Structure 1
Amino acid sequence: MSPRTPSRPVGTVTRGTTNPNRLRRMDRWIAAVHGAALRRAADPVAVDLGYGAAPWTAVELLARLREAAPRARVVGIEIEPARVAAAKPYEREGLTFRHGGFELPLAQAPSLIRAANVLRQYDEDQVAGVWERLCGKLAPGGLLVEGTCDEIGRRHVWVALGPEGPRTVTFATRLGSLHTPSDLAERLPKALIHRNVPGEPVHAFLRDFDRAWAAAAPYASYGARQRWISTVRALTADWPVVDTPARWRQGEVTVAWGALAPVGGSRD
């Protein structure tokens, strides 16, 4: 007997705000760090969960993933039926759209689930349950990427999770638009955004990030990229940065989840 699925999608309708290229930073990171796993998968299926009022992010995800894994397929899943109907004309080989929510109405376990700007409207104490549910849907070696960005994708913060749970937090930005690294605080995912207060690790990290950025001011004459690279290199002395200068050059830094994980109870 097949597993019982909910009679209605699990979750809440989001605002649905979306713009072309909004998720480009997240997509490029996924292709870079998870592309090899997608290539190894027998049938690599990626889910764009809660893609919103227009299908652009799913269309773009397919194009970017196929640069790294030519056999990748994308399924856009939306809880609002009208959005699914509006997306259907954009279906093509490798891209389909389905009505659903966190239950993921799929016949097979996905190799990737991307949930961008989905959990922002939920309470903080709901996040762990959603993470656990989605991680339980992943194929072996699969990845869940959950995070938040601004309306045009200049600033983005996401958590990467495997079947076992959260692994890393990535901060990504258009360097030319950055005043200080703590500008990214407003885009922290729901699990962290209420934790940017004294006594919490993410607050200490952003404080140190700003201090390192200030100390690297002399590098600004060589451009924002060189200043960012110098800043992140300084951070490695005290924080478990897990990526390399190749990613720093893209305006990114990835830190082990355990270093930023909340220490107290819910703050919602």
Structure 2
Amino acid sequence: MPPPPRPVGTATRGTTNPNRLRRMDRWITAVHGPALRRADHPLAVDLGYGHAPWTAVELLARLRTAAPATRVTGIEIDPARVAAAQPHAREGLTFVRGGFELPVPDRPHLIRAANVLRQYDEDEVRAVWERLTARLAPPDPDGLGGGLLVEGTCDEIGRRHVWVALGPEGPRTVTFATRLGSLGRPSDLAERLPKALIHRNVPGEPVHAFLRDFDRAWAGAAPYASYGARQRWQRTVRALAADWPVVDGPARWRQGEVTVAWGALAPRG
């Protein structure tokens, strides 16, 4: 019997901590939960979960609060990481060796790739996105549901996080999420921009202009700081939405989030 094909991609550093991806998971559950509930047998993939399987275990628990039938498969290139995760497998949670080829039998309704593409070159990102989104579950006959790829980066303990959400057609939105008590100014999130954007935070690029305007709105909302960082953030985002296509509302802003249409921040050229 021939050996199985080599996984596509390279192993990440594997750094992981419990609750590191809670902000991303909270957003996925709120925004994509209805699509998962509509699916008969929703499958989510935790791609590149790292040295320990905490993020996959947590993803299953969080998604099941929105869609109890959800299954999660954790995928890792490093066979030692897959072996170490097996004691945590349970009903609805499996671990397999693989990479961007996604060795799962069904088309996923969710692919979460957190802190995976940071080690790649910017010009490699588009091909990875296209490969992963091509595997997503399609919408139902009414055009509802379908799969979602969420790809982004966060710090080691999950205080600051930025991610791109993509459907089968490509990128849709960019979300900035933070623990408000730790934020000096919104542009502090620049260091967590996904690979597709992090090198574009320079004058002349949309993401640079967005972060500049974000900081200006934050400064303008300084009087609201006496009511707490949450009130200041909400006032900031409300002002920002006058000039940028913010696609969410106060319910998400209160969580320390803001989501913007991808087209407004997409790299030029």
TM-score interval (norm. to shorter): over 0.9
The whole-number CA distance in structure 1 between the counterparts of 2:32 and 2:92 is 18
Amino acid at match of 1:61: L
Q: Find the residue that maps to 2:163 and give its secondary structure.
A: strand
Counterpart in 2 of 1:226? 231
The whole-number CA distance in structure 1 between the counterparts of 2:118 and 2:134 is 21
The whole-number CA distance in structure 2 between the counterparts of 1:232 and 1:153 is 21
Identity %: 86
Q: Find the residue that maps to 2:164 and give its secondary structure.
A: strand
Q: Find the residue that maps to 1:16 and give its secondary structure.
A: coil
- For residues 145-185 of structure 1, what are the alpha-carbon distances to aligned partners after superposition, in whole Å with 9 as ceiling and x for unaligned? 00000000000000000000000000000000000000000
The whole-number CA distance in structure 2 between the counterparts of 1:156 and 1:13 is 21
Amino acid at match of 1:233: R
Q: Are 1:210 and 2:208 counterparts?
A: no
Counterpart in 1 of 2:44? 46
Q: Find the residue that maps to 1:138 and give its secondary structure.
A: coil
In the TM superposition, what is the alpha-carbon distance from 1:260 to its structure 2 partner? 0.1
In the TM superposition, what is the alpha-carbon distance from 1:63 to its structure 2 partner? 0.4
- For residues 182-221 of structure 1, what are the alpha-carbon distances to aligned partners after superposition, in whole Å with 9 as ceiling and x for unaligned? 0000000000000000000000000000000000000000
Using the size of structure 2 for normalisation, the TM-score is: 0.96
Match for 2:191 among 181, 186, 203? Answer: 186
Q: Find the residue that maps to 1:207 and give its secondary structure.
A: helix
The whole-number CA distance in structure 2 between the counterparts of 1:43 and 1:143 is 15
Amino acid at match of 1:118: V
- For residues 32-58 of structure 1, what are the alpha-carbon distances to aligned partners after superposition, in whole Å with 9 as ceiling and x for unaligned? 000000000011000000000000000
The whole-number CA distance in structure 2 between the counterparts of 1:150 and 1:85 is 26
- For residues 26-85 of structure 1, what are the alpha-carbon distances to aligned partners after superposition, in whole Å with 9 as ceiling and x for unaligned? 000000000000000011000000000000000000000000000000000000000000
Q: How many residues align?
A: 259
The whole-number CA distance in structure 2 between the counterparts of 1:119 and 1:171 is 17
Q: Are 1:158 and 2:163 counterparts?
A: yes
In the TM superposition, what is the alpha-carbon distance from 1:7 to its structure 2 partner? 1.2
Q: Alignment RMSD, CA only?
A: 0.6
Match for 1:101 among 99, 103, 119? Answer: 99
Match for 2:150 among 142, 145, 149? Answer: 145
Using the size of structure 1 for normalisation, the TM-score is: 0.96
1:17-96 alignment, distance < 5 Å: 17-96=15-94
Match for 1:238 among 231, 234, 243? Answer: 243
Amino acid at match of 1:48: D
Which structure 1 residue ranges, 5 or more long, are not aligned? 1-5
Counterpart in 2 of 1:252? 257
Q: Find the residue that maps to 1:226 and give its secondary structure.
A: helix
Deviating runs (4+, > 2 A) in structure 1? Answer: none
Amino acid at match of 1:187: R
Which structure 2 residue ranges, 5 or more long, are not aligned? 139-145
